[in-house]
């Protein structure tokens, strides 16, 4: 007579477990494929994982193999193979025990890693712990049965009891009598295994069925796998008809040159479904890409299913290459990123800072005081700052990071004032809403809005502040009009992919391309000449080039085109005030119309040049003071803005100078800032009761880069002079 509990445990429960196990996997695969993953935390911690995972997985494979042989193969089979029950038993204890211990050690390492390493713990959910705890309990019982009960208590014939019961379950003739006298620890081992199998489909354990052996022959990240539906297609198709279709009569026509194939076409649904859509919207890719290419986005059931270049940019005219097809492979695969399990959807904070913040908050009980507690303590401040650049981010809640950021802002405003807060939000070309919300916030709190150039530092720093325009650079299509292009500090093929073709097309009309990169990047393939400076020396190379250009095209020989160009398009002729600093002078600010007492609009924002024709100080058109003055002089005509007469700005004061003074500038190298004192020609002005000593930006530039014009100071004597900086000899 079998007790009701035994009926439940050894007759009903096994089938419930099997149904949930199989049904759960089908359900999970159907509705939750994107989360079908081992949820690897390898990025967060490698050492323990490597050790624990290797031990556990290799050990458990042998353990599972042992269970399969021990439970599913009847003892009679192994006996017929010449292995006696005693021999099998010993082998099971030695091999099973050893591999079990290895797996057990690995499981403990994985469990402790998840528990003790904060960043792994923070990214674990309850099921991750549950799985490990259940594995540990089940293995503890299994090892006890194998290594203690079997050896020290009583050898238990589990193959003829538990094995026989399992086989009876699998052939649908469950016989609980086999289990009635099984020791309790063996029964508990099975019951905990039940629980493991029950939760299996709903946890990370599903990754067991996705062991990445196929990675050997395909991409290593797969977000959609259409092959998974194949069995559905097999069911839908008329399978029998499909098999015998070659024997069925076929309809032929066209003098038997054509025939109608009876092949099942259900497989085509795969493709039809793949390319179905409900609507098309216009968008671009918010991946910090300034390409901002126009794309048509195909949407089905609210999901982006595919995308296509819009291909409707206006033409560039008859003698220019077109923009189209504008887009890049990154953009074409962007819909995959959107649904990638790797996509960041929560705030992450550097772990060190988070730890400090939580401690400080619990200590002070006030967010602003907590922030103050951290940043005013040099040791604490150094702890989170020195962790920068080392990764170690942990997930936080939106509320927590909002509180932290608000506290930091409030503390800074209270302590230093709102204009100590600098910020920038995503570039307007990408998203007007995020750009506007961030900039409005900064304006409202009295902070300082940086420009996109200062933020990303991939274009001239402070350019918008100087020019009053967001972007003063030309459009990429204009590369086609250049005859000589130096590509430096950019990898156009990678970072301006949709525009890179203009660079290639320019070469067809004879443009020479020089590429300066330390390594062979994607853009190097465009080069007629590839210059590969040692890493970290390209600034020295640039300074040497500037020195040679100034020396040979402006000083030793004056090339009219270059001279006129810098007079018209640069600030080199503007006058700069010099201020006394000890025995020497230092450059201060531009001389302005307001310094001359001129009553003109925005006088504080208008710079001054010396006109070579009249030898008078004049206010040229085009400086920032004209930007908003509505005088109609926001242009680069070389004219006196007051009289409207043409001017010829003096580039240098040499020859017109009242004196030569020593000016101190700095070069920066591995020793830090090194002062350099060099002579520049100056004019002495007296305006009202004020005296000014001024020189031009050009004269300061020549002094700074060490172009010797016979003036006093620390100038190099030749290109080969190794002493002061900024000339070729040293920069070699
Ligand atoms: S360059 Fe590529 S990623 Fe950037 S917007 Fe264009 S298509 Fe998208």
Identify whether 461 is part of a domain.
no
Tell me the CA–centroid distance for residue 694 and ligand 1, in Å. 49
Identify whether 267 is part of a domain.
yes
The helix/strand/coil state of 392 is coil
Mean pLDDT, range 28-36, rounded to an integer = 75
Pick the residue whose CA is nearest to atom 8 on ligand 1.
331
Residue 642 has pLDDT above 60, yes or no: yes
Which of 286, 287, 313, 325, when mutated, tests ligand 1's pocket best, judged by the most ligand atoms within 8 Å of its CB?
Answer: 287
Residue 560 has pLDDT above 80, yes or no: yes
Q: Could you tell me the CATH number of the domain that includes residue 452? A: 3.40.50.740
Identify whether 631 is part of a domain.
yes
Mean pLDDT, range 38-60, rounded to an integer = 89
Task: Grade residue 470 by pLDDT with cuts at 50, 70 and 90.
Answer: low
Q: Could you tell me the CATH number of the domain that includes residue 290? A: 2.20.25.90
Q: Do 13 and 149 fall within a single domain?
A: yes
Tell me the CA–centroid distance for residue 143 and ligand 1, in Å. 57
Which of 291, 295, 313, 492, when mutated, tests ligand 1's pocket best, judged by the most ligand atoms within 8 Å of its CB?
Answer: 291
Identify whether 415 is part of a domain.
yes
Q: Mean pLDDT in the chain?
A: 88
The span from the CA of 596 to the CA of 378, in Å, is 48
H-assigned helices in 551-606: 560-569
Q: Do 191 and 258 fall within a single domain?
A: no
Q: Give me 533's structure tokens.
A: 């400076």
Place of tokens 């010829």: 648
Which of 282, 283, 290, 292, when mutated, tests ligand 1's pocket best, judged by the most ligand atoms within 8 Å of its CB?
Answer: 292
Q: 97-111 pLDDT, tens per residue? A: 999 999 999 999 999
Tell me the CA–centroid distance for residue 487 and ligand 1, in Å. 21
Mean pLDDT, range 683-691, rounded to an integer = 92
User: Which range marks the domain in which residue 221 is found?
Assistant: 213-272
Q: Do 333 and 301 fall within a single domain?
A: yes
Which of 323, 331, 501, 522, when mutated, tests ligand 1's pocket best, judged by the most ligand atoms within 8 Å of its CB?
Answer: 331
Residues with CB under 6 A from ligand 1: 284-285, 287, 289, 291-293, 327-328, 330-331, 497-498
Place of tokens 């304006």: 443
Residue 493: C-alpha distances to residues 95, 487, 502 (Å): 57, 11, 11
Q: Do 94 and 64 fall within a single domain?
A: yes
Mean pLDDT, range 167-183, rounded to an integer = 92
Tell me the CA–centroid distance for residue 507 and ligand 1, in Å. 24
The helix/strand/coil state of 587 is strand
Identify whether 100 is part of a domain.
yes
Domain end point (choices 164, 183, 209): 209
Residues with Cβ within 8 Å of 421's Cβ and at least 6 positions away in sequence, in order, are 409, 412, 413, 442, 445, 446, 447, 448
Residues with Cβ within 8 Å of 414's Cβ and at least 6 positions away in sequence, in order, are 368
Which of 313, 323, 330, when mutated, tests ligand 1's pocket best, judged by the most ligand atoms within 8 Å of its CB?
Answer: 330
Query: What is the model's pLDDT at position 478?
Result: 93
Task: Grade residue 222 by pLDDT with cuts at 50, 70 and 90.
Answer: very low
Task: Grade residue 503 by pLDDT with cuts at 50, 70 and 90.
Answer: very high
Tell me the CA–centroid distance for residue 425 and ligand 1, in Å. 19
Residues with Cβ within 8 Å of 708's Cβ and at least 6 positions away in sequence, in order, are 715, 716, 717
Q: Do 323 and 260 fall within a single domain?
A: no
Q: What is the CA radius of gyration of the chain?
A: 39
Q: Please give the DSSP secondary-structure letter assigned to residue 655.
A: T
The span from the CA of 640 to the CA of 474, in Å, is 27
Strand locations in 539-610, DSSP E?
575-581, 584-590, 609-610
Mean pLDDT, range 129-134, rounded to an integer = 94
Of 288-302, 422-436, 515-529, 583-597, the range with the lowest mean pLDDT is: 422-436
Identify whether 540 is part of a domain.
no
Nearest of 505, 179, 154, 159 to residue 323 by alpha carbon = 505
State percent of the chain over pLDDT 90: 59
Identify whether 463 is part of a domain.
no
Tell me the CA–centroid distance for residue 506 and ligand 1, in Å. 22
Q: Could you tell me the CATH number of the domain that includes residue 102? A: 1.20.950.20
Q: Do 508 and 652 fall within a single domain?
A: no
Of 144-148, 315-319, 425-429, 649-653, the range with the lowest mean pLDDT is: 425-429
Residue 259 has pLDDT above 60, yes or no: yes
Strand locations in 429-556, DSSP E?
448-449, 484-488, 512-516, 529-531
Residue 227 has pLDDT above 50, yes or no: no
Query: What is the model's pLDDT at position 220?
Result: 40
Task: Grade residue 382 by pLDDT with cuts at 50, 70 and 90.
Answer: very high
Q: Give me 382's structure tokens.
A: 């150094």
Identify whether 462 is part of a domain.
no
Three-state SS sequence of 287-323: CCCCCCCCEEEEEECCEEEEEEECCCCCCCCCCCCCC
Task: Grade residue 241 by pLDDT with cuts at 50, 70 and 90.
Answer: low
Q: Could you tell me the CATH number of the domain that includes residue 523? A: 3.40.228.10
Residue 619 has pLDDT above 50, yes or no: yes
Q: Do 574 and 452 fall within a single domain?
A: no
Mean pLDDT, range 638-660, rounded to an integer = 97
Q: Do 607 and 515 fall within a single domain?
A: no
Query: What is the model's pLDDT at position 119?
Result: 84
Q: Do 186 and 120 fall within a single domain?
A: yes
DSSP3 helix / strand / coil % (the chain, rounded to 5): 50, 15, 35
Q: Which atom of ligand 1 is nearest to the CA of 287?
A: 3
The helix/strand/coil state of 592 is strand
Tell me the CA–centroid distance for residue 191 and ligand 1, in Å. 55
Nearest of 6, 54, 62, 16 to residue 184 by alpha carbon = 6
Tell me the CA–centroid distance for residue 703 and ligand 1, in Å. 44
Q: How many domains does the chain have?
A: 6
Q: 316-356 pLDDT, tens per residue? A: 999 999 998 899 988 888 888 888 888 888 999 999 999 99
Q: Do 601 and 715 fall within a single domain?
A: yes
In Å, the largest CA–CA distance within the chain is: 124
The span from the CA of 260 to the CA of 252, in Å, is 6
Mean pLDDT, range 258-263, rounded to an integer = 68
The span from the CA of 355 to the CA of 609, in Å, is 57
Residue 225 has pLDDT above 50, yes or no: no
Residue 620 has pLDDT above 90, yes or no: yes
The helix/strand/coil state of 153 is helix
Tell me the CA–centroid distance for residue 316 and ligand 1, in Å. 20
Q: 269-308 pLDDT, tens per residue? A: 778 888 889 999 998 887 777 788 999 999 988 889 899 9
Pick the residue whose CA is nearest to atom 3 on ligand 1.
331
Do 585 and 606 contact (CB within 8 A), yes or no?
no
Nearest of 711, 663, 682 to residue 555 by alpha carbon = 711
Q: 417-455 pLDDT, tens per residue? A: 999 999 887 766 667 788 888 889 999 999 988 877 777
Of 392-401, 537-546, 679-688, the range with the lowest mean pLDDT is: 537-546
Residue 210 has pLDDT above 80, yes or no: no
Task: Grade residue 228 by pLDDT with cuts at 50, 70 and 90.
Answer: very low
Nearest of 313, 292, 314, 296 to residue 305 by alpha carbon = 296
Mean pLDDT, range 395-419, rounded to an integer = 96
Top-confidence range, 280-284, 460-464, 576-580:
576-580
Q: Do 200 and 226 fall within a single domain?
A: no
Q: Do 187 and 232 fall within a single domain?
A: no
Torsion of the alpha carbons at 632, 634, 636 and 641, rounded to the nearest 10 = 60
Do 181 and 154 contact (CB within 8 A), yes or no?
no
Nearest of 354, 275, 347 to residue 307 by alpha carbon = 275
Tell me the CA–centroid distance for residue 488 and ligand 1, in Å. 22
Q: What is the DSSP string of 182-199?
A: S-HHHHHHHHHHHHHHHH
- pTM of the entire structure? 0.56
Query: What is the model's pLDDT at position 522?
Result: 92
Domain end point (choices 233, 251, 272): 272
Find the distance separating the first CA and the last CA of the chain, reported in whole Å: 97
């Amino acid at each position: 007579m079998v007790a009701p509990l035994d009926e439940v445990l050894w007759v009903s429960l096994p089938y419930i477990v099997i149904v949930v196990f199989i049904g759960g996997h089908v359900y999970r695969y159907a509705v939750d494929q994107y989360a079908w993953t081992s949820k690897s935390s390898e990025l967060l911690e490698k050492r323990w994982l490597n050790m624990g995972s290797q031990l556990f997985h290799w050990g458990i494979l042998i353990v599972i193999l042992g269970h399969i042989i021990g439970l599913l193969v009847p003892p009679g089979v192994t006996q017929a193979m010449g292995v006696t029950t005693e021999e099998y038993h010993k082998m099971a204890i030695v091999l099973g025990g050893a591999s079990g211990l290895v797996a057990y050690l690995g499981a403990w390492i994985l469990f402790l890693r998840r528990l003790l390493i904060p960043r792994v713990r923070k990214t674990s959910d309850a099921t991750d712990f549950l799985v490990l705890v259940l594995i540990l309990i089940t293995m503890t019982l299994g090892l006890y049965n194998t290594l203690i009960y079997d050896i020290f208590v009583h050898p238990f014939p589990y193959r003829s009891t538990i094995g026989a019961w399992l086989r009876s379950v699998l052939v649908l003739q469950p016989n609980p009598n086999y289990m009635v006298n099984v020791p309790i620890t063996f029964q508990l081992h099975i019951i905990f295994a039940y629980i493991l199998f029950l939760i299996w489909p709903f946890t990370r354990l599903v990754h067991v069925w996705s062991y990445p052996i196929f990675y050997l022959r395909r991409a290593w990240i797969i977000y959609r796998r259409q092959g998974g539906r194949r069995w559905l297609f097999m069911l839908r198709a008329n399978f029998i008809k499909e098999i015998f279709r070659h024997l069925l009569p076929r309809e032929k026509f066209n003098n038997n040159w054509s025939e109608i194939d009876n092949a099942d076409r259900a497989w085509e649904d795969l493709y039809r479904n793949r390319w179905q859509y409900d609507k098309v919207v216009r968008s671009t890719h918010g991946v910090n890409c300034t390409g901002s290419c126009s794309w048509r986005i195909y949407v089905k059931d609210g999901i982006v299913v595919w995308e296509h270049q819009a291909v409707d940019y206006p033409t560039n005219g008859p003698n220019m290459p077109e923009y189209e097809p504008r887009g890049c492979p990154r953009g074409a695969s962007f819909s995959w990123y959107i649904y990638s399990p790797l996509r960041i959807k929560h705030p992450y904070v550097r772990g060190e800072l988070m730890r400090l913040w939580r401690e400080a908050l619990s200590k002070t009980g006030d967010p602003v005081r907590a922030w103050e507690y951290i940043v005013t303590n040099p040791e604490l401040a150094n702890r989170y700052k020195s962790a920068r650049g080392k990764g170690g981010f942990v997930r936080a809640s939106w509320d927590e990071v909002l509180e932290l950021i608000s506290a930091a802002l409030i503390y800074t405003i209270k302590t230093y004032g709102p204009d100590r807060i600098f910020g920038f939000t995503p570039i307007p070309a990408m998203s007007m809403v995020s750009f506007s919300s961030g900039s409005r916030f900064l304006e409202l709190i009295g902070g300082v809005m940086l420009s996109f150039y200062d933020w990303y530092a991939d274009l001239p720093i402070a350019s918008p502040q100087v020019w009053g325009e967001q972007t003063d650079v030309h459009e990429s299509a204009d590369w086609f009009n250049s005859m000589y292009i130096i590509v430096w500090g950019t990898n156009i093929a990678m970072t301006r992919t949709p525009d890179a073709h203009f660079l290639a097309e320019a070469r067809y009309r004879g443009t020479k391309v020089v590429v300066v990169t330390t390594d062979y990047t994607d853009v190097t393939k465009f080069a007629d000449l590839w210059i590969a400076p040692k890493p970290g020396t390209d600034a020295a190379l640039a300074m040497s080039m500037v020195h040679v250009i100034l020396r040979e095209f402006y000083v030793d020989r004056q090339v009219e085109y270059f001279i006129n160009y810098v007079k018209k398009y640069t600030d080199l002729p503007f006058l700069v005030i010099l201020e006394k600093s000890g025995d020497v002078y230092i450059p201060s600010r531009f001389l302005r119309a307001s310094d001359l007492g001129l009553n003109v609009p925005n006088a504080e924002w208008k710079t001054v040049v010396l006109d070579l024709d009249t030898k008078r100080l004049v206010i040229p058109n085009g400086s920032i003071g004209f930007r908003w003055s509505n005088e109609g002089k926001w242009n680069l005509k070389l004219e006196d803005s007051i009289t409207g007469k043409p001017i010829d700005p003096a580039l240098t004061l040499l020859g017109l100078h009242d004196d030569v003074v020593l000016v101190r500038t700095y070069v920066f190298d591995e020793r830090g800032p090194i002062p350099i004192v060099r002579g520049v020609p100056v004019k002495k002005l007296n305006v009202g009761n004020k005296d000014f000593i001024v020189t031009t930006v050009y004269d300061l530039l020549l002094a700074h880069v060490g172009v010797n014009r016979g003036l006093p100071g620390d100038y190099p004597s030749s290109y080969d002079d190794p002493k002061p900086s900024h000339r070729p000899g040293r920069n070699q």
